[in-house]
Structure 1
Amino acid sequence: MHPLKDSEAIVERTLFGHRPLILALCLLMTCVFGYYASNLTMGASFEKMIPTSHPYIANFLENKQEMAGLGNTVRIAVETTGDDIYSAEFQETLKQINDEVFFIPGVDRSGLKSIWTPNVRWTEVTEEGFVGGPVIPSEYDGSDAELDKLRANVAKSGSIGSLVANNHKSAIILAPLYDISPETGEALDYDQFSQRLEALVRDKYESDTVKIHITGFAKVVGDLIEGAGQVATFFAMAIAITLVLLLIYSRSLIGALVPLICSLIAVVWQLGSLRLLGFELDPYSMLVPFLVFAIAISHGVQIVNSTASEIGHGFDKLQAARNAFRMLYVPGFIALLSDGIGFITLMVIDITVIQDLAIAASLGIATIILTNLVILPVVLSYTGVRAAGDHFDLLEKLWKLLQAASRPVPATMITLVAALMVIWGVEYSRDLKIGDLDAGAPELRPDSRYNQDNAFVTSNFATSADLFVVMVKTSDDACVSYDTLTMVEHFQSMINRVPGVQSSFSMVNVAKRGLVGMNEGNLKWAELSRNNFVMNSATAGKHVPPGMVNSDCNFLPIVIYLNDHKAETLTRVADAAADFAAQHNDGSVRFELAAGNAGIEAATNIVIETAQYEMLAWVYGVVGVLVFLTFRSVKTVICIIMPLAMTSVLCQALMTYMGIGVKVATLPVIALGVGIGVDYGIYIYSKLKFYMDQGEPLTDAYLHTLRSTGKAVAFTGLTLAIGVGTWAWSPIKFQADLGVLLTFMFLWNMLGALILLPALARLILRPKELPKAGLEPTS
Structure 2
Amino acid sequence: MSHLSSQMVKTLLKPGNVGEPFVERLFFNHRPVLMFLFLAATLFFGYQASQVRPDANFEKMIPTYHPYIANYLNHKDDLKGLGNVVRISVESTEGDIYTAEFQSLFKQIHDELFYIPGIDRAALKSIWSPSVRWTEVTEEGLAGGPVIAATYNGSDEELEKLRSSVRKSGQVGALVANNFRSALIYAPLLDINPETGEPIDYQVFSERLETLVRDKYQSESVKIHITGFVKVVGDLIDGAGKVVVFFAMALVITLILLYAYSRCVRSTLVPLFCSVIAVVWQLGLLKTLGYGLDPYSMLMPFLVFAIGVSHGVQIINAIAHESTTGAGKELAARRAFRALYIPGIIALVSDGAGFASLMVIEIAVIQDLAVAASLGVAVIILTNLILLPVLMSYVGVRQRSGNTEPQAGDEQSNARIWHLLSGCTQKPQALVLIVLALGLSVLGLYESKGLKIGDLDAGAPELRPDSRYNLDNAFISENYATSTDIFVVMVQTAKDKCSDYRTLDAIDQLQWRLQQIPGVQSARSLVDETKQIMAGYNEGNIKWYSLNRNQALLDQASVYASPSSFNADCSLTPVMIYLNDHKAVTLQSVVTEAESFINEFKDVEDITFKLAAGNAGITAATNIVIEKAQYQMLFWVYSVVGILCLLTFRSFRTVLCILLPLALTSLLCQALMARLGIGVKVATLPVIALGVGIGVDYGIYIYSKLQAYLNAGQDLREAYFNTLKTTGKAVAFTGLTLGIGVGTWVLSPIKFQADMGILLTFMFVWNMVGALVLLPALAAMLIKRTPMDRA
TM-score tier by shorter-chain length is: over 0.9
Residue 57 of structure 1 aligns with an amino acid whose one-letter code is I
Which of 281, 289, 294 is residue 301 of structure 2 equivalent to?
Answer: 289
Shift of 1:151: 0.2
Shift of 1:184: 2.8
Mean Cα deviation higher: 224-233 or 131-140: 131-140
Residue matched to 1:710:
728
Residue matched to 2:85:
73
Residue matched to 1:390:
406
Residue 668 of structure 2 aligns with an amino acid whose one-letter code is L
Mean Cα deviation higher: 258-267 or 6-15: 6-15
Are 1:226 and 2:243 matched, yes or no?
no
Give the secondary-structure state (helix, strand or coil) at the position aligned to 2:94: coil
Counterpart Cα distance in 2 of 1:241 and 1:587: 67
Which of 741, 753, 771 is residue 735 of structure 1 equivalent to?
Answer: 753
Counterpart Cα distance in 2 of 1:135 and 1:598: 29
Does structure 1 retain, via aligned residues, the 8 Å contact 2:98–2:163? yes
Give the secondary-structure state (helix, strand or coil) at the position aligned to 1:614: helix
Which of 428, 436, 445 is residue 464 of structure 2 equivalent to?
Answer: 445
Counterpart Cα distance in 1 of 2:109 and 2:761: 45
Shift of 1:756: 0.3
Which of 89, 101, 117 is residue 101 of structure 2 equivalent to?
Answer: 89
Counterpart Cα distance in 2 of 1:570 and 1:595: 13
Q: How does 1:344-493 map to 2 (within 5 A)?
A: 344-386=356-398, 387=401, 388=403, 389-391=405-407, 392-393=410-411, 394-493=413-512
Q: Deviations over 1:426-483 (max 9, x none)?
A: 1210110000000110000000010000110000000100000000001111100111
Q: How does 1:353-752 map to 2 (within 5 A)?
A: 353-386=365-398, 387=401, 388=403, 389-391=405-407, 392-393=410-411, 394-541=413-560, 544-585=561-602, 586-752=604-770
Give the secondary-structure state (helix, strand or coil) at the position aligned to 2:453: coil
Does structure 1 retain, via aligned residues, the 8 Å contact 2:448–2:674? yes
Are 1:53 and 2:70 matched, yes or no?
no
Counterpart Cα distance in 1 of 2:310 and 2:464: 31
TM-score by length of 1: 0.97
Counterpart Cα distance in 2 of 1:132 and 1:555: 25
Mean Cα deviation higher: 666-675 or 135-144: 135-144
Q: Deviations over 1:619-674 (max 9, x none)?
A: 00000000000000000000000000000000000000000000000000000000
Counterpart Cα distance in 2 of 1:337 and 1:769: 35
Mean Cα deviation higher: 581-590 or 740-749: 581-590
Shift of 1:546: 3.2
Counterpart Cα distance in 2 of 1:296 and 1:8: 25
Residue matched to 2:273:
261
Counterpart Cα distance in 2 of 1:537 and 1:325: 83
Counterpart Cα distance in 1 of 2:441 and 2:685: 20
Does structure 2 retain, via aligned residues, the 8 Å contact 1:214–1:450? yes
Q: How does 1:244-283 map to 2 (within 5 A)?
A: 244-283=256-295
Counterpart Cα distance in 1 of 2:695 and 2:121: 51
Counterpart Cα distance in 2 of 1:480 and 1:7: 83
Q: How does 1:135-154 map to 2 (within 5 A)?
A: 135-154=147-166
Does structure 1 retain, via aligned residues, the 8 Å contact 2:117–2:194? no
Shift of 1:396: 2.2
Distance 1:629 1:8, change over 3 A: farther
Question: How many residue pairs were aligned?
Answer: 763
Residue 346 of structure 2 aligns with an amino acid whose one-letter code is I
Shift of 1:689: 0.8
Shift of 1:769: 10
Residue matched to 1:180:
192
TM-score by length of 2: 0.95
Counterpart Cα distance in 2 of 1:184 and 1:63: 25
Structure 1 unaligned blocks of 5 or more: 1-5, 771-779
Give the secondary-structure state (helix, strand or coil) at the position aligned to 1:163: coil
Counterpart Cα distance in 2 of 1:34 and 1:729: 30
Counterpart Cα distance in 2 of 1:219 and 1:547: 25
Shift of 1:179: 1.8
Residue 335 of structure 1 aligns with an amino acid whose one-letter code is A
Identity %: 61
Q: Deviations over 1:152-205 (max 9, x none)?
A: 010011000000000000000000001222443211111001100000111111
Counterpart Cα distance in 1 of 2:342 and 2:255: 27
Shift of 1:675: 0.3
Does structure 1 retain, via aligned residues, the 8 Å contact 2:716–2:786? no
Does structure 2 retain, via aligned residues, the 8 Å contact 1:8–1:330? no
Q: Deviations over 1:681-730 (max 9, x none)?
A: 00000101111111111111111111100000000001100000000000
Counterpart Cα distance in 1 of 2:574 and 2:393: 69
Residue matched to 1:777:
none
Residue matched to 2:15:
none
Counterpart Cα distance in 2 of 1:558 and 1:406: 64
Does structure 1 retain, via aligned residues, the 8 Å contact 2:713–2:786? no
Residue matched to 1:774:
none
Counterpart Cα distance in 1 of 2:771 and 2:197: 51
Which of 13, 19, 34 is residue 22 of structure 1 equivalent to?
Answer: 34
Which of 314, 329, 340 is residue 328 of structure 1 equivalent to?
Answer: 340
Q: Deviations over 1:289-320 (max 9, x none)?
A: 00000000000000011011111110111110
Residue matched to 1:240:
252
Give the secondary-structure state (helix, strand or coil) at the position aligned to 1:767: coil
Counterpart Cα distance in 2 of 1:591 and 1:612: 29
Does structure 2 retain, via aligned residues, the 8 Å contact 1:81–1:169? yes
Counterpart Cα distance in 1 of 2:247 and 2:264: 23
Counterpart Cα distance in 1 of 2:210 and 2:246: 25
Distance 1:588 1:8, change over 3 A: farther
Counterpart Cα distance in 2 of 1:426 and 1:22: 50
Does structure 2 retain, via aligned residues, the 8 Å contact 1:165–1:171? yes
Mean Cα deviation higher: 684-693 or 126-135: 126-135
Residue 646 of structure 2 aligns with an amino acid whose one-letter code is F
Q: How does 1:127-138 map to 2 (within 5 A)?
A: 127-138=139-150
Counterpart Cα distance in 2 of 1:180 and 1:349: 26
Residue 45 of structure 1 aligns with an amino acid whose one-letter code is N
